Amino acid sequence: MADTAPARATRPGPRLSAAVRENIAGWLFVAPVVVILGLFMLLPILMAMWVSLTDWNGQGSPFRSGVPFVGTENYTRLFTEDGLARQDFMTSVRNNFYYVAIVVPAQTVLALGLALIVNARMLKGKTFFRAAFFFPSVTSSVAISVVFLFIFANSGAVTSLLKLFGIDGPQWFSDSRGVLHLLLGGLGLVDPADPPAALTDGGPFGLSWWEWLSGPSVAMCTIIMLVVWTTSGTFMLMFLAALQDIPVTLEEAGMLDGAGRWQRFRHITLPLLKPTLFLVLTLGLIATWQVFDQVYVMSQGNPAKTTLTPAFLSYQTAFRSFEYGSGTAISFVLFAIIVVLALVQRWIMRDRDPARRTRRS
């Protein structure tokens, strides 16, 4: 009989733990999204960052060997070098700063007020009012901008209405005067035609203090009114959803304790709206620093560059002056401004109660 070799027992290979298998499965599920975001968001950002370090004029590929590499020159020209580039950029930052300072608080307060109105128990026709307040937000911004051009024209409805009350309205889209200058002149404190030499002789970043303190121009104020009217509806829905999520028992408990309407709003409603308020302020801050379409349709940065914004200046520099490096650098500086202001806003609105932060964590 032939000798039979004893069968060898095969050892099982090492098995992956359940946690490792879950991690691998999770990465497999998110891999398509990571690839898509990397190709269509991260990679273009890196390519644009390279363009901001060059003097590319839009001809050919920006990655060929013949494109001049200028390093941080496109950035330093915006802050340290005297010239038209810094003057235009600082003018756009000044304009956008006043725009943000007015639009964000105004649209937030208006949206919260509208949400409180349509959330009232005794209000009839809530569906109609919600749709009416929200309708401007879903209308094309370009179409509404064109309508406002006709309304605020020299022979438009607003000017005609002011004439009925004996008021000569300004030439809305041709008036470059700053409202703060007009206010100081109206109070007799300063003559706008002959400002004090202390305010005109010097100032930071290539603009005089008189220019920094001009306030939004009359033309910019028309854009501000348009944006506040069209954006408040969206934020109204956010506040309305948060208001309807507040338990009615808290409101009733406040009434039983003798709290008035203002006290209930201040000590019950407003604290519970803080997360939504932070969301609305953050979205408003980001959107207002990126304003472009209204400026493009209504003013093109005019009159006298008083409606010029960094977003429109980036477009104008890149696609009209063919200075793609400078235009891209402006966009990255704008991105940095938005990130810094969003972080500052988050720090200001942080929860200062240590016990409450401990409970949330």
Same domain, 19 and 91: no
pLDDT in tens, 178-196: 999 989 888 888 888 888 8
pLDDT of 99 above 70: yes
Residue 199 lies inside a defined structural domain of this protein: no
Domain that holds residue 168: 84-178+215-360
Residue 291 lies inside a defined structural domain of this protein: yes
Q: What is the CATH number of the domain that holds 321?
A: 1.10.3720.10
Same domain, 3 and 103: no
Residue 65 lies inside a defined structural domain of this protein: no
Same domain, 17 and 136: no
pLDDT in tens, 220-254: 999 999 999 999 999 999 999 999 998 888 887 88
Q: Which two tokens stand for residue 99?
A: 């725009």
Q: Mark which of 43, 61, 76 sits at the end of a domain.
A: 43
Q: What are phi and psi of 166, to 5 degrees?
A: 75, 25
Residue 189 lies inside a defined structural domain of this protein: no
Same domain, 124 and 221: yes
3-state helix, strand, coil in the chain (%, to 5): 65, 0, 30
pLDDT of 1 above 50: no
User: In this predicted structure, which of 16-20, 306-310, 330-334 has the lowest mean pLDDT?
Assistant: 16-20
Same domain, 107 and 251: yes
Cα separations in angstroms, 168 against 160, 184, 261? 9, 20, 41
Q: What are phi and psi of 157, to 5 degrees?
A: -65, -40
Residue 72 lies inside a defined structural domain of this protein: no
Same domain, 27 and 112: no
Number of domains, the chain: 2
Residue 195 lies inside a defined structural domain of this protein: no
User: In this predicted structure, which of 105-114, 157-166, 303-312, 319-328 has the lowest mean pLDDT?
Assistant: 157-166
Name the 3-class secondary structure at 70: coil
In the numeric block, the tokens 């990126």 are attached to 290
Q: Give the rounded percent of residues in the chain with a pLDDT score beyond 70.
A: 93
